[in-house]
Amino acid sequence: MLKQMRSGAHSIVLKFLLFGLLLLAFVGLALMDYRGMLSGNYQTTSVATVDGEKITTLEFEQLMQGALRRQKMSTEEAYRTGYPAQYLQNEINSRILTKNVRDLGLIVSNEEAAKQLQTMIAPLTAQGLDKKEALQRMLYNMGVSEGQLVESMKAQIGLETLMKSISTGIKAPPQMAQDALKFRAESRRGEYFTVSADEAGKSEQPDDKALADYYKKISSRFLIPESRTLAVMIVDAKSLGLSKDPTDADRKAWYEAHKDSYKVGERRVIAQLMVGKKEDADKLYAEAQKGSNLEALSKGAGKGISTYVRSGEYTEAETPTDLTDAFKTEKGAVLAPVETPLGFLIAQIEDVKAPTVRSYDEVKDEVAEAMDAANDSGEALMKRADEIEDMIAGGKGLGDIAQETKLKIETLEKVTQADAASAKILAAEQVFAEGFKLSKGDVSQRIDAPTGEFVIVEARDVFPAQEQPLEKVRADVLKAWNAEKKSASLDQATSKILDRLKMGEDFDAVAKSLGKKVERTNIISRGEYAKAGEMKKGMFPALFALDKIGQVTAIGSAADGATILRLADRRIDETKEPKQEELEQLRNMLDHAVQKDVLEQYRMSLMTKYKVKIDNKALDNLAKQREENAEITGAN
């Protein structure tokens, strides 16, 4: 989240390298998966060493569990997809880059970090929160203290400085851009013919045994999907009794109680005259002091001498800095010329209006917004979230939590993951995604909604996916059989055709022997993909993937048939001048590619400098322990 809210890292490469540091800033604060630790018989070995400092298996699991919670990913899914190795490399990147920043003496002040923090909370203050409330909301969502956030920001700014110093000024060689332009300017023409699946030969229909044997191989395609009964607790303003629809009488009462908020201070009606030269400004000022109107003076001065700015009404806070003396004078006073970047400014106080209080009718919309903001349940939600997470950590089920908190539970009976699209609950997609990761009886961590509320889900019951009897899906299985056999026949026929062409047979002659007419494409360049609409699907990229004139390939499917494609011609138009915008875009792309390569080489040099060692065996052992834990849990 911090990386998303920061705007300093402009290049994709830089943001990629910063990712590891941001993880380091936050992951150390998350709660540990104690149940996994106790049941997994964790060893005290290390998964990696950085500059002589070990990252123990225990520390690594703590850090990774925090990252998984923020990404809403289960531990089982993480190990199944190989995430731990990726996360470990990010953690190592974080440490070596941070060490390098410190070794180079790149120190960032608290003031610089504070400036960045103001930028981060700006979207929240724009929604009506004051700075303190916005900061607290952000810290809560991130799960860090203010000090920890500031330190992580200082580290990030230091790293940005380092990355910029390395990559700034690195450009791709001019010849590289020229070569790339030639590549783009290349045009090609192809010739082709198509063989349908039916022409490749019809397959025999299977008997009952053959179809049954085939169904055993593909039965997973026809499973009745897993369903679950999920219990969902939504914690929002309404459930906490904090939300109500105020009446007009409620709003008027609020207005009376907060009337001071709607006071408008003394206002002044100020007319302005902008004059180009000082001598002209002095003359006009002298005339204005005698009682002349600024607008009349401007008209009488002649064309091009001055510009009259129509009078406007200002509070003291709204008054331009060039007119700071406007609230120190009386009605009718003329302020002496003030030099500005645009010329010399003369101002006249046309009227002075006493402080007033805006009426209820004028501010009733603001009153409604203020009441909504005051009725904001953010603090109460944060407090309740902490209470519920403590209960979950203590092993309590959703029923027990609901009883203690007096919150309601909604039960979703035997739903599948596909039902998420139609579910009428808060953050439905996240709830279903998390609910289908849980083991029976498990309760999720809180699932944050974009609006500030959160949801807890429990897997009450799990109904595994079921294989359907063959007779129920016989027609679909037979359809799959025919499609597979068609595809195999087409592949075989296509392979024979390509073999003939590779052996030197003439393209037109082969097509004619099959009763086919050769079609030819127009000459088309790489950059004209939009004009390739008349080509068959997949033909454009296949044409430009061929290496030399005369080379052939096949594309297509059983449904569309196989298209035999030959590269007939290729040209490079070096006379065509590229558009300046296109050339600049290409240069930027190449510059970024070179910068990425330099930064990657720098990272690899730091891996050597800080003597990084990764113990892949320890990672494998962690994965095995997780598998064993999952089997034990499933058996219980």
**Highest mean pLDDT pick, 86-100, 135-149, 285-299:** 86-100
CATH code assigned to 266-354 = 3.10.50.40
* Structural domain boundaries in the chain: 2-168+601-635, 184-221+473-572, 227-242+377-463, 266-354
CB-based burial of residue 463 (10 Å sphere; 0-12 exposed, 13-18 middle, 19+ buried)? middle
pLDDT above 50: residue 8: no
pLDDT above 90: residue 236: no
- Cα 201 to Cα 191, 300, 479, 558: the distances in Å are 24, 98, 16, 12
How does DSSP assign 191-260, residue by residue? EEEEE-TTTT-PPPPP-HHHHHHHHHHHGGGGPBPPEEEEEEEEESTTTTT------HHHHHHHHHHTGG
pLDDT above 90: residue 192: yes
* Residue 331 to residue 291: CA distance in whole angstroms: 12
* Residue 239 to residue 242: CA distance in whole angstroms: 8
Average pLDDT (382-401) is 81
How would residue 343 be classed by pLDDT, with cut points 50, 70 and 90? confident
Averaged pLDDT score across all residues of the chain: 78
Average pLDDT (255-274) is 80
**Highest mean pLDDT pick, 58-72, 181-195, 544-558:** 544-558
Residue-level pLDDT at 79:
80
How would residue 202 be classed by pLDDT, with cut points 50, 70 and 90? confident
Residue whose tokens read 């203690």: 404
**598 touches 222 (CB < 8 A):** no
Spatial neighbors of 68 by CB under 8 A, at least 6 apart, are: 74, 75, 78, 83
pLDDT above 80: residue 2: no
pLDDT above 60: residue 43: no
**Per residue in 355-369, pLDDT tens?**
888 888 888 887 777
pLDDT above 60: residue 347: yes
**Per residue in 147-173, pLDDT tens?**
777 777 877 887 887 877 777 778 888
* Residue 235 to residue 385: CA distance in whole angstroms: 8
CATH code assigned to 184-221+473-572 = 3.10.50
Pairing label, strands 410-415, 227-235 = antiparallel
Average pLDDT (296-301) is 81
Residue-level pLDDT at 210:
92
Residue-level pLDDT at 18:
37
pLDDT above 60: residue 14: no
Average pLDDT (536-542) is 84
pLDDT above 60: residue 5: no
pLDDT above 70: residue 530: no
Residue-level pLDDT at 24:
37
pLDDT above 90: residue 414: yes
Largest Cα separation within the chain, whole Å, is 113
pLDDT above 50: residue 33: no
CATH code assigned to 227-242+377-463 = 3.10.50.40
Residue-level pLDDT at 237:
66
Residue-level pLDDT at 455:
87
* Residue 67 to residue 47: CA distance in whole angstroms: 17
pLDDT above 80: residue 36: no
Pairing label, strands 263-264, 356-357 = antiparallel
pLDDT above 70: residue 176: yes
Of 36-45, 125-134, 160-169, which gets the smallest average pLDDT? 36-45
List the one residue out of 554, 523, 518 whose CA is nearest residue 539.
Answer: 554
- Cα 243 to Cα 206, 240, 372: the distances in Å are 65, 8, 9
**Per residue in 476-509, pLDDT tens?**
999 999 888 888 899 999 999 999 999 999 999 9
Residue-level pLDDT at 604:
92
**Per residue in 557-592, pLDDT tens?**
877 889 999 999 988 776 666 677 777 787 888 888
Residue-level pLDDT at 340:
75
**Per residue in 454-472, pLDDT tens?**
888 999 999 998 889 999 9
**196 touches 487 (CB < 8 A):** no
How would residue 29 be classed by pLDDT, with cut points 50, 70 and 90? very low
Q: How many CB atoms lie within 10 A of CB 407?
A: 18
Residue-level pLDDT at 515:
93
Q: How many CB atoms lie within 10 A of CB 435?
A: 25
pLDDT above 80: residue 44: no
